[in-house]
A and B are shown apart, each in its own frame.
Chain A
């Protein structure tokens, strides 16, 4: 039952959304050439996927966002570990991280094109920059928020600092780290699509602008739908990855709340 609920919600959401959309399109509340019916968008979706245009674009976007997120997660955890081991490093990084977090990643793209060229390396740089800071902040919070009792227990058994870090702090920080990665996921997808719009010649962001400028309106909405679905898929994949790693934590919170 509890596993069925999200699926039911998802289907209900789609049904209500489609219903409202169709109503707006049919009643002419919005200009009809800019607001196609659900059927027209569905047909455009089929056409786009049959021609392969959509698959190529979605594949490019997914590859960029996933690789960028993976690199950002790895770097952020390493940085987070360093910052946990040394107060000096944590302090040194704090203002730098605060500044970086205020910078809109897509704004780096036009400038990075000169330094790195218009290629995948430029994309990766922007995406990693977009995703790394929330993950780093979540890592530092997670490592720092370890409950004192397990730490003191480990210490009283003579565990070394490194042993404590990997066997006590890291597991207890995982739920927080995954929360950070989820935020990073949204940002990496956003940065990918925005950069593809600004500088791309491939990917969903490019296809969105391409279809919009050539006034292939149903195709544009179909691409938008695909982008949303990619986000759902990406989130689900992360959830699957997370489950075995933090199942003990979910169990614990369920026990506490029941």
Chain B
């Protein structure tokens, strides 16, 4: 979000990263403890375990996206229904607000006693964690949909279901995307965290194995893979959002064109 808009390379940023890596290397060589492996050792781990890391990453990514998909499929319709049907929203939202301050990872033991330590339990925790940002932004967006839009839809003879699908959903998509963006970052975080806790496979489990075998370089290599995945996901999201909401950005540009200094 802080990167420059034109595609020129951020020179100070790149220099700072290189300086950090160099500082790490110098410190690692001076200390010489296995607790702080050299950059070369981490690259070595990446190279040696490339195949395994890719497999583990595919597990992690698969769970994260499955959880996110469930959250989207449940959160958007629920958010629209709670927002449009006032009584339902007035009754349901306070109960959801109650669950919000609970960190999603705290649900992991509950998922475990119900579903064991397999993929189902992890996906459940991810879906639970991702549901809230999506549900709440959708609900807020629908509650504040421009009344003219809804009134014209009613005048055209649309029923409630048609209004939800044809008016609320498209007109509030830009604001719902805020929730989707938050959940997208969250799903990877929760996926890795649940794998750390309920170890079987995935990048989180890989890190736990690296710890148990005193192979810190392997653990750091997994962190590099996670960072790369996270950056790739946010890049892809930005591309998709620009496509999906092209009409919205055009309108914003038109509206903002007047007062741009």
Do A and B interact?
yes
B-contacting residues of A (Cβ < 8 Å)? 9-10, 12-14, 16-17, 20, 30, 34, 88-99, 101-111, 113-115, 137, 140, 186, 189-190, 193-194, 197-198, 204-205, 208-209, 211-212, 215, 217, 220-221, 224, 227-228, 230-232, 234-235
Name the one of B17, B113, B219 contacting A110, with C-beta atoms under 8 angstroms. Answer: B219
Q: Are A231 and B105 touching (Cβ within 8 A)?
A: no
Q: Would you list the 8 A-B pairs with minimal beta carbon distance, nearest first?
A: A102-B230, A231-B101, A13-B94, A212-B109, A190-B103, A110-B211, A92-B16, A228-B102
With A99-B231, A107-B193, A111-B211 in contact, is A224–B3 under 8 Å at CB? no
A-contacting residues of B (Cβ < 8 Å)? 1-4, 10-17, 20, 34-36, 91-110, 112-114, 185, 188-189, 192-193, 196-197, 203-204, 207-208, 210-211, 214, 216, 219-220, 222-223, 226-227, 229-231, 234
Closest to A94 in B: B2
Q: Are B211 and A107 touching (Cβ within 8 A)?
A: no
Cα distance, A20 to B91, chains bound together (Å): 11
Chain B contacts of A217 at CB under 8 A? 113
Cα distance, A14 to B95, chains bound together (Å): 6
Cα distance, A98 to B233, chains bound together (Å): 12
Cα distance, A133 to B102, chains bound together (Å): 21
Closest to A9 in B: B94
Q: Are A17 and B98 touching (Cβ within 8 A)?
A: yes
Tell me the smallest distance from the CB of B223 to a CB of chain A, in Å.
6
With A190-B103, A197-B105 in contact, is A212–B98 under 8 Å at CB? no
Chain A contacts of B4 at CB under 8 A? 91
Chain B contacts of A211 at CB under 8 A? 109
Tell me the smallest distance from the CB of A48 to a CB of chain B, in Å.
15
With A92-B16, A107-B196 in contact, is A228–B98 under 8 Å at CB? yes
Cα distance, A205 to B96, chains bound together (Å): 22
Q: Are A194 and B15 touching (Cβ within 8 A)?
A: no
Name the one of B103, B192, B222 contacting A193, with C-beta atoms under 8 angstroms. Answer: B103
Cα distance, A115 to B220, chains bound together (Å): 13
Name the one of A10, A137, A189, A208 contacting B94, with C-beta atoms under 8 angstroms. Answer: A10
Cα distance, A9 to B100, chains bound together (Å): 14
Closest to A111 in B: B219
Q: Are B216 and A111 touching (Cβ within 8 A)?
A: yes
Chain A contacts of B234 at CB under 8 A? 98, 102
Q: Are A220 and B197 touching (Cβ within 8 A)?
A: no
Cα distance, A140 to B14, chains bound together (Å): 19
Tell me the smallest distance from the CB of A95 to a CB of chain B, in Å.
4
Closest to A228 in B: B102
Name the one of A9, A102, A109, A115 contacting B227, with C-beta atoms under 8 angstroms. Answer: A102
